Structure 1
Amino acid sequence: MKKETCFTESQIREWWFKRRTKYNVGLLLSGFVSFNLYWFLGEFLIFPYDQSFEVTLFTMAFQSVGYLAFVLIANIFYSLGYFADKFFNKNNVEEFRKNLFNSGFGFSLIIPKVRYFTEYY
């Protein structure tokens, strides 16, 4: 059985800070992939049946601004991860911290896909 190391409050904060870049890159890539899948599939699956489907420079700009707002809100929730870790990780174990990060990260990556693919259904 391996021994768990306890983290100080500043080490916990640093642990979360180090992963914020990975989180944001993941969000941006997820949004980019989701929008392009939406665009590609929309052209082949929606446009033949609904001529009003279109992706213009305006819609791309509008979607980008909206998605950046989502990223800002997601980062607020990311910051709550530190507080959830601090208050609910009673044994101060890294496994809890990793599971909390991975759960939030996975959930955040799914949201853009759900949003784009439920827009027309």
Structure 2
Amino acid sequence: MEYNKGLVIAGFVAFLLYNILGPIIINSVEEFDETGVLMVVHLIAYGVAMCVANVFYTLGYLVDAVLNPTNSVSFRESLFKLGYWFSVSLPVLFIAFIMLSFLFRNH
């Protein structure tokens, strides 16, 4: 539950960044337009991305079983933290990459 909550919050933050920075950065290069239909498309795409993230989350059990033969709780917690922070950082990093690509497109 904590994992999906983090993904939802990260997706919301990324969506806010996209809608705040998009008109400022993208409009300088091309027209930025976030319609209701486009919002639904983004929501569906992020739902699919969350499903993929949950598949990798589930694979964490396999990684734990293979790489943690002593059944160490600290290893398991570290593995979860690594996967969690990687997963929740991706949506924001993706938006940052998009914005940077528009900033440096003509340079």
Distance 2:37 2:74 in 1: 44
Distance 1:69 1:30 in 2: 15
Distance 1:90 1:51 in 2: 54
* Aligned position for 2:104: none
* Aligned position for 2:69: 90
Unaligned runs of 5+ in 2: 102-107
Q: What is the TM-score when the length of structure 1 is the normalising length? A: 0.77
Aligned residues: 100
Matched, 1:45 2:25: yes
Counterpart residue identity of residue 36, structure 1: L
Unaligned runs of 5+ in 1: 1-20
Q: What is the TM-score when the length of structure 2 is the normalising length? A: 0.87
Distance 2:45 2:80 in 1: 24
| Cα distance, 1:117 vs structure 2 | 2.3
Structure scoring higher RCO (CA < 8 A, sep ≥ 6) equals: 2
| Cα distance, 1:51 vs structure 2 | 4.3
Question: Deviation digits for residues 38-84 of structure 1, max 9, x if unmatched?
Answer: 1111123332x134111111111110000000000100000011111
**Partner residue of 1:63 out of 19, 22, 42:** 42
* Aligned position for 2:11: 31
Question: Deviation digits for residues 8-41 of structure 1, max 9, x if unmatched?
Answer: xxxxxxxxxxxxx000010011001111111111
List structure 1 runs of 4+ shifted beyond 3 angstroms: none
Counterpart residue identity of residue 96, structure 1: F
Distance 2:25 2:92 in 1: 16
Q: Which has the higher helix share?
A: 2
Matched, 1:103 2:82: yes
